């Protein structure tokens, strides 16, 4: 399994509106933080599973080495 890293969609929303149209509400900010958190949490979970798989494979390789050495 190969780790893939991507940027969360909220990063690619483009430049903010021009002029006096920039208006961030607390709800918008919290929603963006929530999206970022969920994205990072999913990446963490994926990487954790990959690490566990690699650790298991390492243990199995060590067992085979000991049996054949």
**Does residue 15 lie within any of the structural domains?**
no
Domain that holds residue 55: 25-68
**Does residue 60 lie within any of the structural domains?**
yes
| pLDDT for position 23 | 73
| pLDDT for position 14 | 58
**Does residue 40 lie within any of the structural domains?**
yes
**Does residue 6 lie within any of the structural domains?**
no
**In the numeric block, which tokens belong to residue 55?**
């650790």
| pLDDT for position 11 | 54
Q: pLDDT tens digits for 6-54?
A: 555 555 555 555 655 567 799 999 999 999 999 999 999 999 999 999 9
3-state secondary structure the chain: CCCCCCCCHHHHCCCCCCHHHCCCCHHHHHHHHHHHHHHHHHHHHHHHHHHHHHHHHHHHHHHHHHHHC
Q: How many domains would you assign to the chain?
A: 1
**Does residue 4 lie within any of the structural domains?**
no
**Does residue 63 lie within any of the structural domains?**
yes
pTM exceeds 0.75: no
Identify the residue with better confidence: 65 or 56.
Answer: 56
């Amino acid at each position: 399994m190969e780790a893939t890293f991507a940027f969360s969609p909220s990063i690619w929303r483009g430049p903010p509106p021009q002029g006096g149209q920039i208006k961030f509400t607390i709800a918008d900010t919290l929603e963006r933080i929530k999206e970022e958190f969920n994205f990072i949490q999913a990446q963490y979970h994926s990487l954790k599973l990959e690490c566990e798989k690699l650790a298991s494979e390492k243990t199995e390789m060590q067992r085979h080495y000991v049996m054949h050495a």
